[in-house]
Homo-oligomer: A and B are copies of this chain.
Amino acid sequence: MDSVGTKSGIINIARKLFYSKGFSKTSIQNIINEADIAKGTFYHYFKSKDDLLNQMTERDVEALYNLIYKILDLDIDAIKKLNMVFQTASTWKSENIQMMKVLVKKILSDSNLALRYTMLRQSIKQLTPIYQRIILQGNNEGLFNVTDTDYTANFILASFINNGEEMYKFLTAPKFTEDIILEFKKYIHNYEVTMERLLGAEEGTIHLIDSVVLEKLLKGLLEA
């Protein structure tokens, strides 16, 4: 038996169940039954349902990182690169709305504060070298004016934690409304201005997400 295939197979079946029934309503037994495997096989690959979700997320996010790494090698200036990274990430999220929903729901439950924290710290760690490269390039091109590249990359990414918190606040809204879009747009504009200041970039140069993608993302997340 191809062990990697089996692992992927279980992940795919779990994914289907998580997306249709929801994460909390899917039991390990459900996954075992649907995959037609022995209990021992499940526990050979995964410590728990949470571990399975982590491994699933890691695989999915790896796909996003591969897209981002390609952007880094493009022959464009640092501001275009940074904006492209943002666009790519938000487009990817809007296209993986089912997974985002599972994650957001899981992370939102209060009992998962530790998970939320760990995941956010993990993203910061993974994204830091990407931001460092872009900031360094921008400094060299005279588009940014940052004194300590490492510090600033880390600082910007750490602020994602707060962005995350704000996101959750929006996402706990009972349903999608035009007001939520407006509030979210204001929030994003503030964040763009803040980043321009931190990077020493010219006003109006940084764009986090375009309106169409934003609307798609919010609608997708808030509609049942």
Residues of A within 8 A of B (CB): 113-114, 116-118, 121, 147-148, 151-152, 154-155, 158-159, 161-162, 165, 186-187, 190, 193-194, 197-198, 200
Contacts and interface: CB of A to CB of B under 8 A. Distances in A.
Contact of A114 (B113, B152, B154): B113
Number of copies: 2
Nearest to A145: B197
A147 B190 contact: yes
Q: Which 4 residue pairs spanning A and B have beta carbons closest together? A: A158-B162, A113-B114, A151-B190, A114-B114
Given A117-B117, A118-B113, A194 B152 contact: yes
Contact of A162 (B148, B161, B186, B200): B161
Chain A interface secondary structure, helix, strand, loop or mixed?
helix
Contacts of A154: 162
Nearest to A200: B197
Contacts of A161: 158, 161-162
Contacts of A162: 154-155, 158-159, 161
Contacts of A155: 159, 162, 190, 194
Nearest to A190: B151
A74 to B, nearest CB: 28
Contacts of A147: 190, 193
A51 B5 CA distance: 48
Nearest to A116: B117
A215 to B, nearest CB: 22
Contact of A117 (B113, B151, B190): B113
A148 B190 contact: yes
A102 to B, nearest CB: 21
Contacts of A121: 165
A63 B187 CA distance: 34
Contacts of A197: 197-198, 200
Nearest to A198: B197
Given A113-B113, A117-B117, 14 more contacts: A113-B117, A114-B114, A114-B117, A121-B165, A151-B187, A152-B190, A154-B162, A155-B159, A158-B161, A158-B165, A159-B159, A159-B162, A197-B197, A197-B198
